[in-house]
Amino acid sequence: MRRFPSMSMQIRTLDETFALARLPPTAAVPDWVGGRDLIAVVRTRDELSIVCRADTVPENVLECERGFRGLGIVGTLDFGITNVIAGLTAPLAAAGIPIFNISTYDTDYILVRDDKLAAAKAALAAAGYTID
């Protein structure tokens, strides 16, 4: 296993503002789920979680947190690299910035509240990441 090399990793800021919605576990994936930068739909026996562009989520969705911005590692990560999430979250935790993490087959994303975006980018830059 190879350790995650933060010094050589570039992080980009996603253009869209996101919402995190929670629906009942038996709900169908709604047709309002939309976005270009990132969409995540995860079903468990307890819930249907949706991350998508904030302006696509209807106001009547009761369990919904809005106002998140996304940061993503540029490129494809090898499955043998370790400490990817720890490398991203440790500097953010030290700066007191809560996150919502999403991993895909290729890479990893961190969502932070819009008002914490500048501080998150500064904390990651100080930890050695290249920020767009």
Q: Minimum mean pLDDT among 33-42, 83-92, 123-132: which range?
A: 83-92
For the ranges 8-12, 47-51, 119-123, which has the lowest average pLDDT? 8-12
| Neighbour tally for 58: CB within 10 Å | 9
pLDDT at residue 84, as a whole number: 83
Question: Going by C-beta distance under 8 Å and a sequence separation of 6 or more, which residues neighbour residue 3?
Answer: 81, 82, 83
Q: How far apart are CA 12 and CA 57, in angstroms?
A: 24
Supply the pLDDT for residue 5: 53
Q: What is the pLDDT of residue 1?
A: 43
CATH 3.30.2130.10 for domain 2-131? yes
Percent of the chain with pLDDT over 90: 77
Mean pLDDT of 101-119: 95
Helices (H), ranges, the chain:
84-94, 117-126
Domains in the chain: boundaries: 2-131
